[in-house]
Amino acid sequence: MRIAIIGSGGREHAICHKVYESKNVEKIFCIPGNGGTQKIAQNVNINLNNFEEIKSFLNYENVDLTIIGPEEPLVNGIVDFLRKNGLKVFGPDKFCSRLEGSKIFTKKICEIEKIPTADFQIFNDISSSLKYLKDKNYPLVVKADGLAAGKGVYICENFFDAQKAVAEIFGGKFGKAEEILIEDFLSGEEMSFFILYDNNTFQIFNTAQDHKRVFEGDKGKNTGGMGAYSPSRLITDELEKKIINKIISPTLKYLKKENGIYIGFLYAGLMIKDNEPYLIEYNVRMGDPECQTILPLLKNDFVEILKNCIDENLKQIKLNWKNEKSICIVLTSKGYPDKFEKNILINNLENVSNMENQYIFHAGTKFERKKFFSNGGRVLNFVSINENFKLARKNALSLVKILNWQNGHYRRDIGYKVIDN
């Protein structure tokens, strides 16, 4: 089979690596890919939102299956466009992708289907937002409605924080904002819960816990993700049933009722309090860095799973997982998620290659003049699998230390809730 993967991050390198392991794959294309994917695939420099050029390339290369990695092309309707042109695509359609493209859309589904979530209000201007915020108890959460690369969420400790959040969102920090979401703060512990759905049946695709804050101890600004571990320490059979019955099934029922076509991963970001799940938000693709943490635990042929999913035949697959623990540590450029430099040489990568149960997935890297350079905020992902989380983290940290990239920043406490408590 000839497979194309759309995207350029750590998630896409992890997907590329898993596809590369399949015995049924003849050729892999990454559009546009990164410095790491070029080792096992052909990188193709096409803009993610140039659907016409992507379609022409896929047809020219006789690509059998295309996997959409990131959220932006999904929300912009790439799946509908490619399917209409007779191509096999793994990913939800434009309507279903609104689950991630609009937090307000998701909240309205929660209202209709009685899905447990934080109480919320929607506002379309600064003055009404601030009037509401003035008399509220804090902390509160202020969210940009659209895509914001994981950074459009403000946890506000006081009215001053909330004012700043509202001003930044309506000021266009995350693109043109017509509405914002203000919701009650949910206390508890977060969990990432994944399913694979073929528009008729779904299977649970493991769990993880992401670490969003830039500094250790979950301090500092929100990021796209500084690391993750899998499986989540919170998951039990009882909790899993509650998540399915109260959150996942009602959501899929609504999408089906509205004639949406959902073939792909659905990622529920949850808050767990007193063993009860509450929906924070949905993503319509694998998480990043959760994907890098979860996929190495999968025993199955990944391409076989995707083929069955696209053919709406997922019930034929039995997912098999390694009985081990996985941790991913993200190495970022110094200054991320604010200003950071690009094009910084990354020495020593040849001394930190993939080994059994240890993986390095590239994100913001490029390969030029036979050398690797930084090309983004999140640069590299160091993943280790072991019999317990403590050893997995120790091994992942040792990889970061061997690299010894002076322009990098990382957290040493990924998985602290499951290791140090």
pLDDT digits (tens, 9 = 90+) for 87-124: 999 999 999 999 999 999 999 999 999 999 999 999 99
> Above pLDDT 90, what percent of the chain?
89
Please provide the average confidence, as pLDDT, over all residues in the chain: 95
Domains of the chain plus CATH, in order, are: 2-93 (3.40.50.20), 125-178 (3.30.1490.20), 189-316 (3.30.470.20), 325-419 (3.90.600.10)
- Helix axis angle for 126-134 and 159-170, nearest 10°, is 170
- Residue that wins the pLDDT comparison between 352 and 365: 365
| Residue entry with tokens 């959902």 | 262
pLDDT tens readout for residues 218-257: 999 889 899 999 999 999 999 999 999 999 999 999 999 9
pLDDT of 149 strictly over 80:
no
Q: How far, in Å, CA of 330 to CA of 286, rounded?
A: 16
Label residue 352 by pLDDT band (50, 70, 90). Answer: confident
> Above pLDDT 70, what percent of the chain?
98
- Cα distances from 147 to residues 76, 143, 175, 177, 229, in angstroms, run 11, 10, 9, 11, 24
Q: How far, in Å, CA of 212 to CA of 39, rounded?
A: 29
Q: Which two tokens stand for residue 118?
A: 């934080």
| 109 φ/ψ angles, rounded to the nearest 5 degrees | -65, -40
- The residues, ordered by sequence, that sit 6+ positions from 302 with a Cβ below 8 Å of its Cβ are 15, 18, 19, 21, 22, 295
Q: How far, in Å, CA of 294 to CA of 289, rounded?
A: 9
- pLDDT, residue 153, reads 85
| 283 φ/ψ angles, rounded to the nearest 5 degrees | -120, 145
pLDDT tens readout for residues 309-345: 999 999 999 999 999 999 999 999 999 999 999 999 9
- pLDDT, residue 145, reads 87
Provide the 3-class DSSP secondary structure of residue 372: strand
pLDDT tens readout for residues 363-413: 999 999 999 999 999 999 999 999 999 999 999 999 999 998 999 999 999
End-to-end, the C-alpha distance of the chain in Å comes to 46
Label residue 269 by pLDDT band (50, 70, 90). Answer: very high
Q: How far, in Å, CA of 312 to CA of 179, rounded?
A: 36
Q: Against a cut of 0.85, is the pTM above it? A: yes
Q: Which of 162-171, 241-250, 279-288, 318-327 has the lowest mean pLDDT?
A: 162-171
- For residue 243, give the H/E element and its range: helix 237-243
Label residue 176 by pLDDT band (50, 70, 90). Answer: confident
